[in-house]
Chains A and B, each alone.
Chain A
Amino acid sequence: MSVAIPGQYISSIYKYTEDENSGSQVEKYVSGRGTTVANIKVPENNKFSSIPVIVATILGKIVIRELKSSTNSTTGGGVDNIKTFIVSVVPKSNSYLESAEDIEGTNISINLPQENDIVLVRITKINPRQAFAEILSVESHGNVIKDSGIGSNGELAHQSIAAGGGSQNLSSHTTIASSQSTAINAQAIDLGETFKGIIRSQDVRSTERDKVKIIECFKPGDIVRAVVISLGDGSNYYLSTAKDDLGVVFAKSEGGSGGLMYALDWQHMICESSGIIEKRKCAKPFV
């Protein structure tokens, strides 16, 4: 695996090779994570023509994988053999690459959730209409972002920081810092806080959606597997657990003071030490 530096050309979009054994072959390259497609100008007959090239956007190692499912059905133009490759750049911090060679997608150091991503969240507070959560990690990609400053609240809070200490804004965009690109109402949140999500009561399950009681589905502190259904508004992602394999994966009884609980069925969990049964919307443990 060779090293790529941001801006480095990795491959053109198409490559055409002619081989005695396999005949003519077209290789198609798709830009994956850590890469983008840039139009690079090349001098040609005293003029400039631009060709699309896949370039690296982060520092890391180049990984080129063949997409197995590529169809050979496109028989127009006389080319019968198209191979598709996905080109990505994997940073040094990646831990997935060593453990699983062909894990779907690759993790880069910053993984903002997108629509249809499965995320692990921690419930922070609930009300009758919705449960609020903070997003911990994106499945198969890794943590949303590494530590970006220690604050006193949120997932990245540090116990050495007193409440309110160290969590003020770094700068005020509208007044001090140079920020020509910012919409004037964008405001950075406190240090240490991470991206937030909402599970609305109608998104908890797919049946009897109008009869959902949030208190019987989630409690603050639960770790929940959910899917991102929308980027939502400025503050929250919109999440859903309306699938068998989504829901609470990790919970403690009696509001966190009791022991670890295990799922009995899709809406009950039992505490292994006290035998208390509590209501949750559980994820199916074995998919």
Chain B
Amino acid sequence: MILSPAERSYLYDSLIQKPPIRPDSRSGHQFRPLEAKTAFLPSSNGSARIRLMDGSECIVSVKAKVVLKSQESSLIECDIDVSGNRDDSNFVSILKFNLTNLLCQNFPMDVLQLTSKYSYKLFIDCLVISHTSYPLTLLSLATYLALKTTRLPLLVSDVDDSEVEEQPTFSDDWDKSKYLKEMVSSNSKFQPPIFITLGVVGDNLLFDPSTEEEQVLENGLILSWYNNKVITPISNINLASNSNNSNFKGMDPILISKSLALLKKYCGEIVDALDGIIEHDDATEGGIF
């Protein structure tokens, strides 16, 4: 999507105001409205679907497989498919790198442990059906919802199998299955890590920039949020891909520190809102959208 020079200049000038004037009249820290549905894929352990008001849509499915721990380098594998982009394109690869990196480093792997030999391995398949802005936040929020609603069958065999050759057996009763969040050992809340994208214009930081805003951003930040804390990985990126964004420039490191403070202030609410969606979803059984 390419804006005309006049449109670019108008949009840039309004975003650089204090406070920024965004085209959809959001405040700087506001997300675009979204609707979501969880646990709707019958053959997946967990699933979620998110739709944004601009038509962006993403489906995430989580499937679990029992694996021998010694044979696996990583207990989480992400696969991302973006319609209209080749799987080996830079765009898809970077999304995949970011999501895999975030989850592999920060996901509480102990919830996947079954026995001393066996473990669950999660396959997270993400499908971006349509997107206008950079889809990483969308992907990450959908992954959050899917992981939170993931149910794994109850293990009925012995936990300690270091001496015996025995494969783990599971309860047939799906009602006895456990949510991932119930398997967290400590009494801390199970909240998988999420990504937040921020746009930088002048001294302003914009949460969840829309596709028009991306065209005039001076830089973009990708930050991660986990357990009410800002965590690594953190990096910057040109959010407007294939767009010839002539505003793109370097930024003052102070802005990056500022982004941390902003995240600490508002991210708790975002996660609470997502948890709210799940609770609401559980209460109202119905069709998808």
Binding site for B on A (CB under 8 A): 174-184
In chain B between 49 and 104, which residues have their CB closer than 8 angstroms to a CB of chain A?
A: 86, 88-90, 94
Residues in B with CB closer than 8 Å to A180 are 90, 237-238, 240-243
- CB pair A178–B90 under 8 Å, yes or no, is yes
- CB pair A176–B245 under 8 Å, yes or no, is no
- CB pair B241–A175 under 8 Å, yes or no, is no
- CB pair B90–A176 under 8 Å, yes or no, is yes
Q: Which residue of chain A lies nearest to B94 when distances are taken between CB atoms in the complex? A: A178
- CB pair A175–B242 under 8 Å, yes or no, is no
| Contact residue among B2, B89, B94, B237 (Cβ-Cβ distance under 8 Å from A174) | B89
Q: Which residue of chain A lies nearest to B87 when distances are taken between CB atoms in the complex? A: A175
In chain B between 218 and 255, which residues have their CB closer than 8 angstroms to a CB of chain A?
A: 237-238, 240-245, 248
How many Å from the CB of A199 to the closest CB on chain B?
Answer: 30
| Contact residue among B89, B237, B248 (Cβ-Cβ distance under 8 Å from A175) | B89
- Among B90, B237, B245, the one with the most A-chain Cβ atoms within 10 Å of its Cβ is B90
How many Å from the CB of B237 to the closest CB on chain A?
Answer: 8
| Contact residue among B90, B238, B244, B248 (Cβ-Cβ distance under 8 Å from A177) | B90
- CB pair A182–B242 under 8 Å, yes or no, is yes
Residues in A with CB closer than 8 Å to B240 are 180
Total number of A-B contacts with CB less than 8 angstroms? 33
**Cα distance A182–B245 when bound, in Å?**
9
Q: Which residue of chain B lies nearest to A178 when distances are taken between CB atoms in the complex? A: B90
Residues in A with CB closer than 8 Å to B245 are 181
- Among A177, A178, A180, A181, the one with the most B-chain Cβ atoms within 10 Å of its Cβ is A180
**Cα distance A104–B164 when bound, in Å?**
88
Interface residues on B, range: 10 to 19
- 18 more contacts with CB within 8 A, not counting A178-B90, A178-B94, A180-B242, are A174-B86, A174-B89, A175-B86, A176-B88, A176-B89, A176-B90, A177-B90, A179-B242, A180-B237, A180-B238, A180-B241, A180-B243, A181-B242, A181-B245, A181-B248, A182-B244, A183-B242, A183-B243
How many Å from the CB of B82 to the closest CB on chain A?
Answer: 13
How many Å from the CB of B120 to the closest CB on chain A?
Answer: 34
Residues in A with CB closer than 8 Å to B244 are 181-183
- CB pair B238–A181 under 8 Å, yes or no, is yes
Residues in B with CB closer than 8 Å to A175 are 86, 88-89
**Cα distance A158–B262 when bound, in Å?**
58
Residues in A with CB closer than 8 Å to B238 are 180-181
**Cα distance A184–B85 when bound, in Å?**
12
Q: Which residue of chain A lies nearest to B91 when distances are taken between CB atoms in the complex? A: A180
Residues in B with CB closer than 8 Å to A174 are 86, 89
**Cα distance A174–B92 when bound, in Å?**
12
Contact with A along B154-167 (1 / 0, CB 8 A): 00000000000000
| Contact residue among B2, B88, B90 (Cβ-Cβ distance under 8 Å from A179) | B90
Residues in B with CB closer than 8 Å to A176 are 88-90
Q: Which residue of chain B lies nearest to A184 when distances are taken between CB atoms in the complex? A: B242
**Cα distance A183–B1 when bound, in Å?**
10
**Cα distance A182–B91 when bound, in Å?**
12
How many Å from the CB of B242 to the closest CB on chain A?
Answer: 5
How many Å from the CB of B9 to the closest CB on chain A?
Answer: 19
**Cα distance A176–B245 when bound, in Å?**
20
**Cα distance A260–B287 when bound, in Å?**
83
Residues in B with CB closer than 8 Å to A181 are 238, 242-245, 248
How many Å from the CB of B45 to the closest CB on chain A?
Answer: 33
Q: Which residue of chain A lies nearest to B240 when distances are taken between CB atoms in the complex? A: A180
**Cα distance A1–B244 when bound, in Å?**
38
How many Å from the CB of B94 to the closest CB on chain A?
Answer: 8
Q: Which residue of chain B lies nearest to A182 when distances are taken between CB atoms in the complex? A: B242
**Cα distance A175–B84 when bound, in Å?**
11
**Cα distance A179–B91 when bound, in Å?**
9
How many Å from the CB of A167 to the closest CB on chain B?
Answer: 24
22 contacts between A and B (CB under 8 A): A174-B86, A174-B89, A175-B86, A175-B88, A175-B89, A176-B88, A177-B90, A178-B90, A178-B94, A179-B242, A180-B237, A180-B238, A180-B240, A180-B241, A180-B242, A180-B243, A181-B238, A181-B243, A182-B242, A182-B244, A183-B243, A183-B244
Residues in A with CB closer than 8 Å to B243 are 180-181, 183
**Cα distance A176–B88 when bound, in Å?**
7
**Cα distance A176–B237 when bound, in Å?**
18
How many Å from the CB of B220 to the closest CB on chain A?
Answer: 10
**Cα distance A62–B90 when bound, in Å?**
40
**Cα distance A176–B91 when bound, in Å?**
9
How many Å from the CB of B281 to the closest CB on chain A?
Answer: 36
Which A-B residue pairs are the 10 nearest by beta carbons? Answer: A180-B238, A178-B90, A180-B241, A184-B242, A175-B86, A175-B89, A183-B244, A182-B242, A181-B244, A183-B242
How many Å from the CB of A175 to the closest CB on chain B?
Answer: 5
Residues in B with CB closer than 8 Å to A183 are 2, 242-244
Residues in A with CB closer than 8 Å to B89 are 174-176
